[in-house]
Chain A
Amino acid sequence: MQIPFGLYPVGLNLYPLALDLFIPTIFIFFAGASYRVTRYFVTYNKPFIVYTTQVRGITQGEKIKELFNTFANSSKVGIKRKPATTAVGLLMHIVLILIIFLLAQHMIFWAYYIPPYQILFPLAIPESSADGQLAFFRGSTPYTSTPYPFVHDIWGPLTIILNGQYLTYLLIIFLAIYLAHKFSVVVERLSIRAGDWWFFVLLFVDVVLGFLATSHIPNNVYWYDNLLGAHILVAEIIIATLPFTRGFHMFEFYLGKLREWYFMIMRRGMK
């Protein structure tokens, strides 16, 4: 079966369906994002700025320094006052970003839809630590040359630890801690939102699915296609719902911090 605008026939497994649904997913994402952004424009009130102060005089250099401080402050305070949860939060973000954007398989996927993404190919990290071990212990280089410098990544033996396999282990642990934290919040009868479960459970499931597929567990093509398909489908659900969930913070984070900086530094002349 071919679904409208589909690129592949939908067969007996989830993989072609998942690929077919990628473009519609992006449409939904953009529609949602536009809706969210439009609401900001509609409710925007031009601020009335009282005065730039005569007694404080903040220099351009200080303004830039404060911009860095604005972005760094929450992590700095978090590490001091809530070290465990802050460390888990920060590491989880780092690992998630690495795995989404630098895992070789993901990079190929992104580059297929956004060709300039190829520029980042030298940063690709492999699926497992085997590559790094081969490079390190055997001094081996890829046997065949490739049109892209793809397999010649810049990480070298570092991929013994920097690889999809290990990062996924970490990610599963961090996400499990997050989920446990959410449960503890429920126990303490503090506010928890449906969106929290939506995001963390989906992410957790998605990481596990991706891991099973790449690790070929169970080891046959039928399951591989279905697991990979399911992995992509869950990712598509996450992407499509980003504008309506906490996931959108990956974009809005910058907006919030820039607003804070603008408010304090440009409007208040903080010094």
Chain B
Amino acid sequence: MSVLVVVEPDESGNGLSVVSQETLTFARQLPGEGVDAVFVGSVGDPDEAALAQCREHGVGTVHVTDDARLERYAARAWAQVVETAAETGGAAYLVAGGTPRGNEVLAHVAAARGVPMPCNVVAVVQDEPLEVERQVVGGAVLERVALGGGGGLAVASVAGHAVAPEPAGEPGEARVERVEAQIGDSDLAAQVVRVEEREGGDTSALTGADVVVGAGRGVGGADQFADVEQLASRLGGAVGVSRVVTSLGWRPHHEQVGQTGSRISPDLYLACGISGAIQHWAGCSSSRTIIAVNTDAEAPMVTKARYAVIGDMHEIIPAVLEELG
């Protein structure tokens, strides 16, 4: 019995997404003989970079589909591909990264099979019977749940950045196998008909950025972002904001970091005028270094940060820009 991992191509179109690499790393902790992968969101052969990464992660078989009807995303039809791959590969466990696509496709499989699906799992806590811990309440609380044990397929999604991606001890073969899924009209009833690409910055710029300059309510208004933008651009990074900022309509939702926004893991998160509520922390806690700029030395963001400067961000950021030259 193997572990089947739902993998997604990287947004840049080259290789696997970071979350998929994390999920493959996590999957190797599950009991089972070997790890296989199934591609979701791309039709035909994966690119060489993606296959090399699958090999590096010890993947035995890579399941792909050639069904041209799936060029445009349809979650239920992709779930058919995943289920068929699970059946042909004899999978005991099915895991995906806790991304919108990962959770959606898994939920269809879990619904069709009538099995539970714990989301946002972070760790295996016990092997026999298998128990895992998952994040609830935006990551502030961990819930212990039983996974599997019913003899059927056990399904779970893995929280983003729960484990750091690491290559397997032994590389896999990553043999490409075609999935012949029975896809009916009802599986395609909810299918993307059109995509409108976003003009200018997009969230992939935020989620993939090495530096994020965060801005919260402390910014003070929609017209107060010039120095924040300038600093982000000077550091070659992106702007990320708190929910208060998007709720007030100061910035668009796709810039929101947190439980109901994007999860980021940059080298540096410079959080300015952000209190650091747990729902925001859920999205930024895997940043390598956090520097807080805040008027309040007791703000959770300050106490959780590695470094902090206390004071008005609109005085501090210009001084930093000047110092950077």
A binds B: no
Binding site for A on B (CB under 8 A): none
Binding site for B on A (CB under 8 A): none
